[in-house]
Amino acid sequence: MQNYKINIAIIGCGYWGPNLLRNFYQLPGVEISFVCDLDEKKLGNIRKNYPKIKTTTDYQEVLRDQNTQAICLATPLAAHFEMAKAGLLAGKDVLIEKPITENSQQAEGLIKISRGRNLILMVDHTFIYSGAIQKIKELIVKGELGKLYYFDSERINLGLFRSDTNVISDLAVHDLAIVDYLFAKKPISVSALCWDHIIDGKGETASINIKHEDNFISSIRVSWLSPVKIRKSIIAGSKKMILYDDVAPDEKIRVYDKGIDIDPMAVTPFQPAYRSGDIIIPKIDQAEPLKKMADHFTLCVRERKTPLTGGEAGLRVIKLIEAIEKSIKEGGKEIAI
């Protein structure tokens, strides 16, 4: 393993950029070469808190800098493609805030450029790096849950309303990334509905259903109009079931030894045996997911490794979002993927 220092630039310091900056700044072997934003007031706040970091309103200055090896984009979604493309063409490794781009064609273009130039392209699907999701993945791989039946998720809160996106790209994208990572179940079709309550065309509440191969189902509900913040998911299997509550201060995962057994020799199948066993609360890594994501990106840059959430993962999620949006436009029609 090489131990040279990696110079990383943070592009955009609005909502998410300062969080990226904080985590990358704390990593050993990382130097923040630039923080870039069009808003001089925001840059002033950065200089106040990080007086040694160079700031600029000129993205081209970052791209021209030979010492900057990687850029992290935390810009509005509409700017992702052009800025990431410019970064890759300038020879920089690129990390992009979710979702990776506005559409699948743009994502495919970035993947092609990154492959052709042997550069790292990674999307910040932060939840994939959480200790809870990593533990759930481990349990699934080990076969602890048995045959997988469904994933059911509710992700709701009050706001944050954003002018550059809707509730699907803001909230549902997290669950879509989680489904893509956890389950080796190819999506077959999607149906979805979205409702405008406050702003016409914005879409503040949505319900999504995805059919996967092997009769696996994903159901996702998201909303910006809830008085409480809820982040709960249930994963049901033939052997065990999981309740994942990301808002819980501890005990984020509960594994239930519960299920239904059907005796194939019975005269009628409508005499199931309900199984109820222990509830297990596994120990999980409590490290901040964003810190682990930043550390992973740094590792990929340093050792030229394929990211856990590379461009291809971002592309798969964008294709799901496109199918969801098409279904919504067609009144909830089932759309083949």
How do residues 122-177 score in pLDDT, each as one tens digit?
999 999 999 999 999 999 999 999 999 999 999 999 977 766 678 999 999 999 99
User: pLDDT by residue for the chain (337 residues), tens digit each?
Assistant: 456 799 999 999 988 999 999 999 999 999 999 999 999 999 999 999 999 999 999 999 999 999 999 999 999 999 999 999 999 999 999 999 999 999 999 999 999 999 999 999 999 999 999 999 999 999 999 999 999 999 999 999 997 776 667 899 999 999 999 999 999 899 999 999 999 888 777 789 999 999 999 999 999 999 999 999 999 999 999 999 999 999 998 899 999 997 776 666 665 656 666 667 789 999 999 999 999 999 999 999 999 999 999 999 999 999 999 999 999 999 999 999 9
Question: What is the DSSP code string of 112-123?
Answer: HHHHHTT--EEE
334, 328 Cβ separation under 8 angstroms: no
End-to-end CA distance of the chain: 41
Q: Which residue has the tokens 């393993």?
A: 1
Q: Which domains does the chain have, with CATH numbers?
A: 6-127+289-319 (3.40.50.720), 136-284+330-336 (3.30.360.10)
Angle between helices 311-329 and 104-116 (to 10 degrees): 170
Question: Side chain identity at 26, as an amino acid letter?
Answer: Q
SS3 189: strand
pTM: 0.92
CA 249 to centroid of chain Cα atoms? 21
Residues 288, 106: Cα–Cα separation, whole Å: 30
> Backbone phi, then psi, for 47, in 5-degree steps?
-65, -35
> Backbone phi, then psi, for 273, in 5-degree steps?
-100, 120
Strands 148-158 and 225-237 come out as antiparallel
Residues 42, 36: Cα–Cα separation, whole Å: 10
* Burial (CB count <10 Å: 0-12, 13-18, 19+), residue 24: buried
DSSP E strands in 141-281: the ranges are 148-158, 187-195, 205-212, 217-223, 225-237, 241-245, 253-261, 273-280
